[in-house]
Amino acid sequence: MPELPEVETVVRTLEHQISGRMITDVTVRYEKTVVGDPETFRKQLIRQHFRTFARRGKYLLFYLNDVILCVHLRMEGKFWLQKPEEPLNRHMHVLIDLDDGMQLRYHDTRKFGRMEILPLDTDLRTFHELGPEPFSEEFSRAYVHAYRIRHDMPLKSLLLDQRFVAGIGNIYADEILAACNLRPGRSCQRITAKDEENLIRETRRILKAAIAAGGTTIRSYTSSLGITGLFQTECTVHMMKTCARCGSDIHMKRIGGRSSYYCPHCQK
DNA sequence: ACACTGACCTGCGAGC
DNA sequence: TGCTCGCAGGTCAGTG
């Protein structure tokens, strides 16, 4: 389940592997992976070079000569760099041939991921209504305060709201709230200024550690040879049975349609 | 205008 | 053992 740290890892890995390569052909095997007409998509990519690589929230951005190739991996999307003669499997939905003879293969078991072509001058600040990056200065205490008092939702939903802050998914949301000793179901309107500071600090600390570790994941870690980073499982509450800090039984509750894990003893 | 719900998908594990 | 059923998750369209 790629969240910000996993996407960051994928971007850096691909930057290392395919920077400067030219796209010679594109095959779309599952049409819904591509936003818009697949043949138009193909034509817009052919003869383009991979120039620079970036991430915005959970979106991967490949800057080509004339367009941006924007990819969202959703839950299970991954890229494989293989030789064209290697066997395909039924989950490889988009094949991108490169001028060095390799093929970049988009693999997605659940077919949830999406790719789209964007103009080079797309405003990434307002792109998909994404909120600030967690490491940006814009994600300040004043910003958090202003946002949370304008909205009424559980803290868990706030962290998952991509308009609030970009890049946090279910796993890291649980971990951030555990680190702040806050229950996921607590109203975002009922926290203190100190909690706001803690949320910002712990969000950055946990995401930074996860990036350094090459990304964390729970179920999708199945040692794929895909470009997904070094997966580790360093969770303190998410999917855990007992609290890593006090040993209490971890509770699970559905909040905003998402399973949310927390320690009823440590988190208030 | 806001927050909430269901659809999109497939694999897997629980339960009978 | 073999089947069915429901859950997992991020985003967005649709609903209240």
Range A125-137 burial, b when 16+ CB lie within 10 A, else e:
eebeebbbbbeee
Residue A215: the pLDDT is 65
> How do residues A182-201 score in pLDDT, each as one tens digit?
999 999 999 999 999 999 99
- What does pLDDT average to over chain A? 88
Interatomic CA–C1' length for residue A258 and nucleotide C9, angstroms: 8
Which residues are paired to A56 by β-bridges? A59
Give a yes or no: residue A130 inside a domain: no
Give a yes or no: residue A195 inside a domain: yes
CATH number at residue A108: 3.20.190.10
Residue A26 has pLDDT above 70, yes or no: yes
Confidence grade of residue A158 (pLDDT, cut at 50, 70, 90): very high
Domain final residue pick, A124, A152, A183: A124
Catalytic residue, from A21, A55, A56, A58: name it: A58
On whether both A171 and A103 belong to a single domain, the answer is: no
Catalytic residue, from A47, A74, A253, A258: name it: A258
Give a yes or no: residue A129 inside a domain: no
Give a yes or no: residue A133 inside a domain: no
Is A212 or A93 the better-scoring residue by pLDDT? Answer: A93
On whether both A90 and A189 belong to a single domain, the answer is: no
d(CA A188, CA A147): 9
On whether both A108 and A171 belong to a single domain, the answer is: no
Phi first, then psi: give them for residue A255, nearest 5 degrees. Answer: -130, 125
Interatomic CA–C1' length for residue A35 and nucleotide B2, angstroms: 28
Residues 60-89 of A with CB under 7 A from strand C: 72, 74-76
Question: Sign of the C-alpha dihedral, residues A34, A40, A42, A46?
Answer: negative
Is A173 or A229 the better-scoring residue by pLDDT? Answer: A173
Range of the domain at A231: 141-262
In this complex, the nucleotide whose C1' atom is nearest to the CA atom of residue A256 is B4
On whether both A106 and A148 belong to a single domain, the answer is: no
CATH number at residue A210: 1.10.8.50
Interatomic CA–C1' length for residue A189 and nucleotide B3, angstroms: 15
- Asked if A58 CB < 7 A from strand C, the reply is yes
Residues 148-187 of A with CB under 7 A from strand C: 160, 162, 169-171
On whether both A205 and A113 belong to a single domain, the answer is: no
On whether both A45 and A154 belong to a single domain, the answer is: no
Residue A213: the pLDDT is 76
Residue A225 has pLDDT above 70, yes or no: no
Domain final residue pick, A65, A99, A124: A124
In this complex, the nucleotide whose C1' atom is nearest to the CA atom of residue A150 is B2
Give a yes or no: residue A71 inside a domain: yes
Residue with tokens 């803290």: A155
Q: What percent of chain A has pLDDT over 90?
A: 65
On whether both A119 and A166 belong to a single domain, the answer is: no
According to DSSP H, which parts of chain A are helical?
A: 4-18, 38-45, 141-150, 155-160, 170-179, 193-213
- Which of A13-22, A38-47, A89-98, A214-223 is the least confident region? A214-223
Residue with tokens 């949320």: A199
- Which of A57-71, A153-167, A221-235 is the least confident region? A221-235
Confidence grade of residue A221 (pLDDT, cut at 50, 70, 90): very low
Phi first, then psi: give them for residue A213, nearest 5 degrees. Answer: -85, -10
- Which of A91-105, A108-122, A146-160, A247-261 is the least confident region? A247-261
Cβ proximity of A57 and A163 under 8 Å: no
* Structural domains counted in chain A: 2
> How do residues A160-183 score in pLDDT, each as one tens digit?
999 999 999 988 999 999 999 999
Residue A66: the pLDDT is 97
Domain final residue pick, A124, A152, A179: A124
On whether both A97 and A160 belong to a single domain, the answer is: no
In strand B, the nucleotides that come within 7 Å of a protein beta carbon are 2-11
On whether both A116 and A218 belong to a single domain, the answer is: no
Confidence grade of residue A257 (pLDDT, cut at 50, 70, 90): confident
In this complex, the nucleotide whose C1' atom is nearest to the CA atom of residue A1 is C9
- Asked if A57 CB < 7 A from strand C, the reply is yes
In this complex, the nucleotide whose C1' atom is nearest to the CA atom of residue A90 is B10
Interatomic CA–C1' length for residue A72 and nucleotide B8, angstroms: 14
A258 is catalytic: yes
